[in-house]
């Protein structure tokens, strides 16, 4: 039998009448990033809190690194790290002081705390800013410092609950690099996200969660293949042109074009990518409709979610 870094079978967690986890299954391979992908309210944080022993659960089974979560929560706690959506670092202190303080909280002793702090500052690309106050850090730097803090004890399994929510694209990229570095150093990461692109970029495998249940578990690539086919995507320069763009796309695509909530983007599945692209580009040019961007793309996990649940992620 395979040894799993995290394993859950039929997990149940109720808050009164609300079933936050409703027979949730999960299996995370050691040494990988596993994505837990789902919209707001799907049960991601509840799953993480239960697995990290911060909440009791009402039914089912869970193990972390082979240790039973219900029977042996203390041993589980010694094996894991947890980072929440919001950084827990102290604004007044410098990055280095923060990490040394965490080290002492974990009884490392002064010298070990100092060397561990220096090591982590280096690993997370914070050496240069190590001795500046955290109040001057960017969002991405804070999140990386938070990651570093959760790594003080080099946990076997790290739970990251929406580590990039609220960050700009640059900060997000910085956190992604940090997560990759963690996994390269041997940590298993369970990462929750609402960002499809994030799961696709980071995770070897993705569990899609909806209403407290896993509704899919696969590689990002295989999930995308389930939806199948290429899509054409057109971004109108002017929102007022959207109906005309949609009409043009409708002529070449399979099914109905989808309009994005940005108000300027239309996308739709196509059978023959080159013909579709050429046709749409020419028609829009002939009609004098200005286009900001036009291209072909592989299906995203967003499309997968639409396919699996019949609802968009924002629903």
Ligand X SMILES: Nc1ncnc2c1ncn2[C@@H]1O[C@H](COP(=O)(O)OP(=O)(O)O)[C@@H](O)[C@H]1O
Q: Which residues lie near ligand X (CB under 6 A)?
A: 15, 18, 20, 38, 40-46
Which among 39-47, 65-73, 106-114, 253-261 is the span making contact with Mg ion, rule CB under 5 A?
39-47
Over the chain, what HEC string results? Answer: CCCCCEEEEEEEEEECCEEEEEEEEEEECCCCEEEEECCCCCCHHHHHHHHCCCCCCCEEEEEECCEECCCCHHHHHHHEEEECCCCCCCCCCEHHHHHHHHHHHCCCCHHHHHHHHHHHHHHCCCCCCCCCEHHHCCHHHHHHHHHHHHCCCCCCEEEEECCCCCCCHHHHHHHHHHHHHHHHCCCEEEEEECCHHHHHHHCCEEEEEECCEEEEEECHHHHHHHHCCEEEEEEECCHHHHHHHHHHHHHHCCCCCEECCCCCEEEEEECCHHHHHHHHHHHHHHCCCCEEEEEEECCCHHHHHHHHHCCCCCC
In the complex, minimum distance from the CB of residue 16 to ligand X, in angstroms, rounded to a whole number: 7
18 interface partner picked from Mg ion, ligand X, none, CB below 5 to 8 A per type: ligand X
40 interface partner picked from Mg ion, ligand X, none, CB below 5 to 8 A per type: ligand X
In the complex, minimum distance from the CB of residue 40 to ligand X, in angstroms, rounded to a whole number: 5
In the complex, minimum distance from the CB of residue 162 to ligand X, in angstroms, rounded to a whole number: 8
- Tell me whether residue 210 or residue 241 sits nearer to ligand X (CB atom): 210
193 binding Mg ion? (CB under 5 A)? no
In the complex, minimum distance from the CB of residue 193 to ligand X, in angstroms, rounded to a whole number: 10
| Interaction pattern, residues 121-150, with Mg ion; x per rule: CB under 5 A | ------------------------------
264 interface partner picked from Mg ion, ligand X, none, CB below 5 to 8 A per type: none
In the complex, minimum distance from the CB of residue 273 to Mg ion, in angstroms, rounded to a whole number: 37
45 binding Mg ion? (CB under 5 A)? yes
- Tell me whether residue 44 or residue 156 sits nearer to Mg ion (CB atom): 44
Binding site residues, Mg ion, CB under 5 A? 44-45
């Amino acid at each position: 039998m395979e040894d799993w870094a995290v394993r859950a079978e039929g997990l149940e967690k109720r808050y009164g009448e609300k079933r936050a986890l409703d027979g949730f299954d999960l299996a995370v391979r050691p040494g990988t990033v596993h994505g837990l992908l789902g919209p707001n309210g799907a049960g991601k944080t509840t799953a993480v809190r239960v697995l990290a022993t911060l909440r009791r659960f009402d039914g089912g089974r869970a193990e972390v690194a082979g240790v039973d979560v219900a029977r042996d929560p203390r041993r589980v706690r010694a094996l894991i790290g947890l980072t929440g959506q919001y950084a827990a670092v102290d604004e007044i202190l410098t990055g280095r002081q923060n990490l040394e303080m965490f080290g002492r909280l974990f009884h490392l002793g002064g010298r070990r705390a100092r060397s561990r702090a220096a090591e982590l500052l280096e690993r997370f690309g914070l050496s240069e800013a190590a001795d500046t106050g955290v109040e001057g850090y960017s969002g991405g730097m804070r999140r990386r410092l938070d990651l570093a803090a959760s790594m003080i004890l080099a946990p076997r399994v790290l739970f990251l609950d929406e580590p990039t929510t609220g960050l700009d694209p640059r900060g997000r990229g910085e956190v992604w690099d940090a997560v990759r570095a963690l996994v390269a150093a041997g940590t298993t990461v369970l990462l929750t996200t609402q960002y499809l692109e994030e799961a696709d970029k980071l995770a070897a495998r993705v569990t899609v969660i909806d209403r407290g249940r896993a509704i899919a578990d696969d590689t990002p690539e295989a999930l995308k293949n389930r939806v199948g086919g290429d899509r054409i995507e057109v971004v109108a320069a002017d929102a007022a042109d959207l109906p005309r763009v949609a009409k043009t796309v409708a002529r070449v695509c399979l099914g109905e074009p989808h309009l994005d909530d940005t108000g300027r983007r239309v996308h739709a599945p196509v059978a023959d990518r080159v013909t579709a692209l050429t046709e749409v580009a020419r028609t829009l040019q002939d009609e004098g409709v200005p286009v900001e961007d036009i291209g072909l793309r592989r299906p995203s996990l967003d499309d997968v979610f639409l396919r699996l649940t019949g609802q968009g992620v924002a629903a």
